[in-house]
Structure 1
Amino acid sequence: MKKTVIALCVLLFTSLLIACDKREDEPPIVVERSKIEGYTYDKDNITDYALVWSDEFDYEGLPDDDKWGYDVGGHGWGNNELQNYTSDQNAFVKDGILTIEAIKDEKGSWTSARMVTRNKGDWKWGKIEVRAKLPTGRGTWPAIWMLPTDWQYGSWPNSGEIDIMEHVGYDQNRIHASIHTQAYNHKIGTQKGGSKVIPTASEAFHTYTVEWFPDLIIFSIDNEVYYTYNPFNLVDIPKNRHWPFDRRFHLLLNIAIGGDWGAAQGIDPELSYAKMEIDFVRVYQSPTIQNLVREID
Structure 2
Amino acid sequence: MKNIKSNTLFRVKCLVALMIFTTMFTNCDPDETQEVAKLNNLVMQDEFDVDGVPNPSMWTYDIGDGTAEGIPGWGNNELQYYTARPENVNVENGVLVITAREESFEGASYTSARLTTQNLFERQYGRFEARIKLPWGKGLWPAFWLLGNDCDQNPWPQCGEIDIMEYLGDSPTIVFGSAHGPGYNAGDAITKEYELENDRFDTGFHVFGIEWSPNRINYYVDDVLYQSITPSVVEEEAVVDGGPENAGEWVFNRPFYIIMNIAVGGNLPGAPNAETVFPQRMLVDYVRVYN
For the criterion TM > 0.5, the same-fold answer is: yes
- Give the secondary-structure state (helix, strand or coil) at the position aligned to 1:232: helix
Distance in 2, Cα, partners of 1:168 & 1:150: 28
Does residue 267 of structure 2 align to residue 276 of structure 1?
Answer: no
Distance in 2, Cα, partners of 1:174 & 1:200: 8
Partner of 1:88: 85
The answer to whether the Cα contact below 8 Å between 2:124 and 2:254 also exists between their aligned partners in 1 is yes
Which runs of structure 2 are paired with 1:195-210 in the superposition (5 Å)?
Answer: 195-198=193-196, 199-210=199-210
Does residue 62 of structure 2 align to residue 67 of structure 1?
Answer: no
Distance in 2, Cα, partners of 1:137 & 1:105: 17
The answer to whether the Cα contact below 8 Å between 2:137 and 2:275 also exists between their aligned partners in 1 is no
- Give the secondary-structure state (helix, strand or coil) at the position aligned to 1:162: strand
What amino acid sits opposite 1:275 in the alignment? R
Distance in 1, Cα, partners of 2:104 & 2:114: 22
Cα distance, 1:152 vs. partner?
7.7
CA distance 1:106–1:158, change in 2 (3 Å): closer
**TM-score, normalised on structure 1?**
0.75
- Give the secondary-structure state (helix, strand or coil) at the position aligned to 2:170: helix
The answer to whether the Cα contact below 8 Å between 1:179 and 1:193 also exists between their aligned partners in 2 is yes
Distance in 1, Cα, partners of 2:267 & 2:248: 24
Q: CA RMSD in A?
A: 2.2
| Partner residue of 2:266 out of 253, 259, 264 | 259
What amino acid sits opposite 1:231 in the alignment? P
Which deviates more from structure 2 when the two are superposed, residues 139-148 or residues 163-172? 163-172
Distance in 2, Cα, partners of 1:55 & 1:88: 20
Partner of 1:54: 45
Aligned residues: 240
Q: Deviations over 1:118-159 (max 9, x none)?
A: 111100000011000000011100000000112387211111
**TM-score, normalised on structure 2?**
0.77
Cα distance, 1:268 vs. partner?
1.6
Partner of 2:159: 159
The answer to whether the Cα contact below 8 Å between 2:116 and 2:257 also exists between their aligned partners in 1 is yes
CA distance 1:150–1:218, change in 2 (3 Å): same
CA distance 1:65–1:138, change in 2 (3 Å): same
Distance in 2, Cα, partners of 1:226 & 1:105: 38
Cα distance, 1:242 vs. partner?
2.9
Distance in 2, Cα, partners of 1:152 & 1:68: 19
Which runs of structure 2 are paired with 1:134-145 in the superposition (5 Å)?
Answer: 134-145=134-145
Partner of 1:103: 101
Does residue 145 of structure 2 align to residue 150 of structure 1?
Answer: no
- Give the secondary-structure state (helix, strand or coil) at the position aligned to 1:261: coil
Partner of 1:16: none
Cα distance, 1:190 vs. partner?
2.3
Cα distance, 1:259 vs. partner?
1.1
Unpaired runs of 5+ in structure 2?
1-28, 68-72
CA distance 1:182–1:220, change in 2 (3 Å): same
What amino acid sits opposite 1:165 in the alignment? M
Q: Deviations over 1:202-250 (max 9, x none)?
A: 0000000111110010000000011111123749988784311001000
Distance in 2, Cα, partners of 1:113 & 1:209: 21
Does residue 201 of structure 2 align to residue 194 of structure 1?
Answer: no
The answer to whether the Cα contact below 8 Å between 1:56 and 1:281 also exists between their aligned partners in 2 is yes
Does residue 244 of structure 2 align to residue 247 of structure 1?
Answer: no
Larger Rg: 1
Unpaired runs of 5+ in structure 1?
1-41, 286-297
Distance in 2, Cα, partners of 1:57 & 1:152: 30
Does residue 169 of structure 2 align to residue 169 of structure 1?
Answer: yes
Q: Deviations over 1:48-70 (max 9, x none)?
A: 44000000011111101111000
Distance in 1, Cα, partners of 2:116 & 2:222: 23
CA distance 1:240–1:215, change in 2 (3 Å): farther
